[in-house]
Chains A and B, each alone.
Chain A
Amino acid sequence: MSGQPLSTTLSSALARALQAGRGQFNARVAEACRSQPGFDTAAVDALLCGPLDQLAIRAAAVDAERANSMLLAAFDVGLTLILRGKAELPLVQALWANVLPACLPLALRQPRDTLGNLFNAALYLQSVAGARTVQWAQEMASLGGHCANLATLRGLGQILAWRAGVAHFRSGALQVAHSLPLELAHAALAAAPGLDIATVLDRLASGPWFDPARPAARGLRVVHEVGGFSGFGGPFAQPPEVRALADGFVLRCADRHWYLCADAFGAVLHAGSAEEFAAGSAEAGALTFRGGEICLGDARCALDLPAEGLQLVCGPNTAAACSPHSHFIRLLALA
């Protein structure tokens, strides 16, 4: 490919695939070189000698006839990732090493769709601050093999992405969960043993703070700390202000606005607008702060913020606390 011999010996499975599709493989590399002056062909060698070689060995063991077309699709994926500078992402590496082998039967039947969906999902998750990508990859590797078709694999990925902290997928993922096989849905939602899936789905739909893995967690409690100082890599240049909407919060910091979406699995910031902020509520409702504790009726919860300038904002299921002394917002589940 790069004109230099590869540094390691390739498996016979990959060598056969390269031999069979020599023209196509070379054309892909030539196109990549054209599109990006200084394209690093050493990265292509690394792709071939690393993930592709391992994949070829496994694929040949499962279905040798379909291995070549799957490897060509995988090569396209690898090249695209190299061109976009994403090939070295840990999540991408985890997909090659663990997730793809688990989904190999499906990848052999529908290579381009399976690989495209998995790696697009990886790139998406990588772009969501706070998403637990390692958890997603581990659970995909563990459950991906139970997916009989692509639709199920896609549904599984969506539910696991939600559970990995992509809170704004909540309503869509809940719908998808109804369409998965019951056992797979139970496992995907990490429901505690003994909880039946119908109950889990009902309770998930009834409020954002039910976690099927910890069904007993209830009451007023701090569930997330969101934010951080931009000087340390966080989103806020100064402590933000907050307003409540029906389905989340809007934050204002200097002249920028964010929309905060949160549930039991995570909290994600999106771009917001001044209009949303103006439409939000700054009411604290029945919440009070006394002696370092937030109080709601008889319920109490410790809060590590000073009383001075503390802003409490109450939404339908969640409260937010922010302080002029902190770049982080504390989110509290109300029930």
Chain B
Amino acid sequence: MSPLNIFQRLSKSPTNPKPVARARQFDVADLYNGPLQTGEAGTGEAVALDEKLRQAYFWIVNTAIISPHYDIEYNDGPAQRYQVGDSKRALTLPSAQSYSSFVLLPLLTFATRRKCLFVGGPGRGKTASAILMGVLAGYSIKEVRRAMQHGHPQMTIADLLGNPLPADLVGAQSMDDIRIAWRNWLGMRVKIVDEYNRIPTRTQSALLTVMGDNYAEVLNHVFECPESAWYLTANDDRGGGTYAVVEALRDRIDVVVQALAFNPRFLDDLLMRIEENLRPEECVPPEIIFSEQEVDRMVEEIRAIAVPQEVRRRIEFFTSQFELFETAGAQFEYLTKDTARLAGVEWHELVAADNGRDRLKDIGCQTLNGVSVRNLMTILLYAKALAYFRGNTEVELEDLRQTLPFVLHDKLQPDLDAPFFSLPENVPFRADRVSWLRHLFDLACDEYDRLNLDREDPLADLEADFARGLDGLSERDTRTRLANIERLIAERVKGRKLYGHLYDDLLKLKYLHQRYTNYLHWIRAQA
């Protein structure tokens, strides 16, 4: 490697500097830290893993992937905005460090060991990005390439998982006697499945078991896979594959990232790669390669990132908007879109019967389904990972806002017949899922602010009382609390309209009421 070291150059200073919180310490050795190579050993101080993750990100965006798109925008002050074209689309110049989703989300997937789907047309770097993630995990390019599963219409379960040894098949007296030659990729910590929507349905089911439950099974033999990051690619995720993707398999994917179009103004970079026969994955700097233990530690550190109450309330409020479907059921608990979907009732009939609500204002009317528990957990985990990546110890609302669209991309299905999508200003949201989901979250936050729920959450006191536990609570106090719950429910149902957040509040109040009722019965039985 040349001493000029042009293609392996890493950011030497913290890539997202934060104000100094600890006592200042200046090191006289800094005098000799600079761009010129010396034989001096480093200080021996290990780079923090979040900083290493940022260094990996910036090496990828600056050197490896020609990625001029900064679509995850952060601002620490007013951003410069321009309106462009007849459609007056906004071009924003963010005032804080912003990121490219095509690199950041796969990297957060790597750091959290989750599952990422790359979508986009052929030749846009989906597979190359996935390979880079494999190299970051410490595998050689050969290992990563050989372990990559290429979906094709004839792919069998044996192709995917492994074969029984032919000699054992002939001589075995029982299934236990048959040894399985497991495919190597199952044991890797970065798994890549290229063009997963070309895999036949039956093989997809086997893949689902590996992805969902982390084990592979052939002839009663089980291979336990290690926790790993998954990268799947699809040229066209909406029907362009050879086989329809099993819904459960789609649901196991945590984030969907779109490979955006190549900007020809970066043609020089492409040309240089051709002329120099340069492959970024072959010159990944060793400083940004993560050991297995480092990724283990990183996962733990990410889990430890706090989600403050005010951020939690926003995601609760947002999620509340979507499940309610008043005409889908008769009993209060069953007034959900899931009830309608499971019953197979025509959607438009139920929608026609839904009257009284402002279907434009109620953002719950924009979707065909709600947000699942798995989706919620994924949103929280990725928001934590993004906060960690940005060097913070707790999640900010903007972290949530930026990760949520990529998690819900294939999960929250828009009802394109809803009045919202027929408004001229909302037509772009019919195709642009990421922007629609971000807009949806913004609308939910606006409503949250309008209702002043940060300061006036009617359930907050009741929840706080309950959180302190029931031990030692007197019968009299229990009755008081039951009365408070009943009074609050009576107040909340005075309005004629039922909205998603109110529905969930009422269900929570019913839950609290039931817990106190049970406790009251118990305490009276003890007397």
Q: Are A and B a genuine interacting pair, yes or no?
A: yes
Which of A's residues lie within 8 Å of B, judged by CB?
27-28, 31-32, 34-35, 37, 73, 76-77, 79-80, 83-84, 110, 112-113, 115-117, 119-121, 123-125, 154, 157-158, 161-162, 166, 168-169, 171-173, 175-176, 247-248, 259, 261, 270-276
Chain A residues with Cβ below 8 Å from B2 are 27-28, 31
State whether the Cβ of B39 lies closer than 8 Å to any Cβ in chain A.
yes
Chain B residues with Cβ below 8 Å from A123 are 34-36
State the CA gap A27–B29 with chains docked (Å).
32
Q: Which residue of A lies closest to B26 (CB)?
A: A168
Chain B residues with Cβ below 8 Å from A35 are 4, 6-7
Q: Which residue of A lies closest to B271 (CB)?
A: A37
Q: Is the CB of B272 within 8 A of A34?
A: yes
Chain B residues with Cβ below 8 Å from A84 are 35
Q: Is the CB of A173 within 8 A of B33?
A: no
Q: Which residue of A lies closest to B278 (CB)?
A: A34
Chain B residues with Cβ below 8 Å from A272 are 19-20
State the CA gap A34–B273 with chains docked (Å).
10
State the CA gap A32–B34 with chains docked (Å).
18
Q: Which residue of B lies closest to A119 (CB)?
A: B36
* 9 contacting pairs across A/B (C-beta < 8 A): A31-B2, A35-B4, A35-B6, A76-B3, A80-B35, A113-B39, A121-B32, A169-B26, A248-B24
State the CA gap A2–B17 with chains docked (Å).
40
- Tell me the dominant secondary structure on chain A's binding face: helix
State whether the Cβ of B40 lies closer than 8 Å to any Cβ in chain A.
yes
Q: Is the CB of B36 within 8 A of A271?
A: no
Q: Is the CB of B28 within 8 A of A76?
A: no
- Of all A-B residue pairs in the complex, the 7 with the closest CB atoms, nearest first, are A172-B28, A120-B34, A116-B38, A273-B19, A168-B26, A35-B6, A116-B36
Q: Is the CB of B36 within 8 A of A115?
A: yes
State the CA gap A320–B38 with chains docked (Å).
40
B434 to chain A, nearest CB (A): 33
Chain B residues with Cβ below 8 Å from A154 are 32
Q: Is the CB of A124 within 8 A of B4?
A: no
Chain A residues with Cβ below 8 Å from B39 are 110, 112-113, 116
Chain A residues with Cβ below 8 Å from B3 are 28, 73, 76, 112
Q: Is the CB of A80 within 8 A of B31?
A: no
B43 to chain A, nearest CB (A): 13
Q: Is the CB of B36 within 8 A of A124?
A: no
Q: Which residues of B, 395-414, contact A by the 8 Å Cβ criterion?
A: none
Chain B residues with Cβ below 8 Å from A73 are 3
Chain B: interface residue total (CB-CB under 8 A): 29
Chain A residues with Cβ below 8 Å from B19 are 271-275
B297 to chain A, nearest CB (A): 28
State the CA gap A173–B26 with chains docked (Å).
11
Q: Which residue of B lies closest to A268 (CB)?
A: B26
State the CA gap A115–B32 with chains docked (Å).
11
Q: Which residue of B lies closest to A154 (CB)?
A: B32
State whether the Cβ of B37 lies closer than 8 Å to any Cβ in chain A.
yes
State whether the Cβ of B276 lies closer than 8 Å to any Cβ in chain A.
yes
Chain B residues with Cβ below 8 Å from A175 are 28
B69 to chain A, nearest CB (A): 21
Known: A172-B28, A273-B19. A120 touches B6 (CB 8 A): no
Q: Which residues of B, 1-15, contact A by the 8 Å Cβ criterion?
A: 2-4, 6-7
A120-B38, A172-B29, A272-B19 known; 19 new pairs, CB 8 Å cut-off, are A28-B2, A31-B4, A31-B6, A32-B4, A34-B272, A80-B35, A112-B37, A112-B39, A113-B39, A123-B34, A124-B31, A124-B32, A125-B31, A154-B32, A157-B32, A171-B26, A259-B20, A261-B26, A271-B17
B16 to chain A, nearest CB (A): 14
A269 to chain B, nearest CB (A): 13
Q: Is the CB of B31 within 8 A of A157?
A: yes
State the CA gap A169–B32 with chains docked (Å).
12
B282 to chain A, nearest CB (A): 15
Known: A37-B268, A117-B38. A76 touches B31 (CB 8 A): no
State whether the Cβ of B477 lies closer than 8 Å to any Cβ in chain A.
no
A128 to chain B, nearest CB (A): 10
State whether the Cβ of B30 lies closer than 8 Å to any Cβ in chain A.
yes
Q: Is the CB of A34 within 8 A of B6?
A: yes
State the CA gap A172–B467 with chains docked (Å).
53
Chain B residues with Cβ below 8 Å from A113 are 38-40
State whether the Cβ of B21 lies closer than 8 Å to any Cβ in chain A.
yes
Q: Is the CB of B27 within 8 A of A172?
A: yes
Q: Which residue of A lies closest to B77 (CB)?
A: A255
A176 to chain B, nearest CB (A): 6
Chain A residues with Cβ below 8 Å from B275 are 34
Q: Which residues of B, 241-284, contact A by the 8 Å Cβ criterion?
A: 268, 272, 275-276
State the CA gap A179–B379 with chains docked (Å).
55
Across the interface, A80 reaches (CB within 8 A) one of B4, B21, B272, namely B4
Known: A31-B6, A124-B31, A172-B27. A77 touches B36 (CB 8 A): yes
State the CA gap A276–B22 with chains docked (Å).
10
Chain A residues with Cβ below 8 Å from B28 are 158, 161-162, 169, 171-173, 175-176
Q: Which residue of B lies closest to A276 (CB)?
A: B20
State the CA gap A247–B36 with chains docked (Å).
32
Q: Is the CB of B26 within 8 A of A116?
A: no
Known: A112-B39, A271-B20. A124 touches B27 (CB 8 A): no
Chain A residues with Cβ below 8 Å from B268 are 37
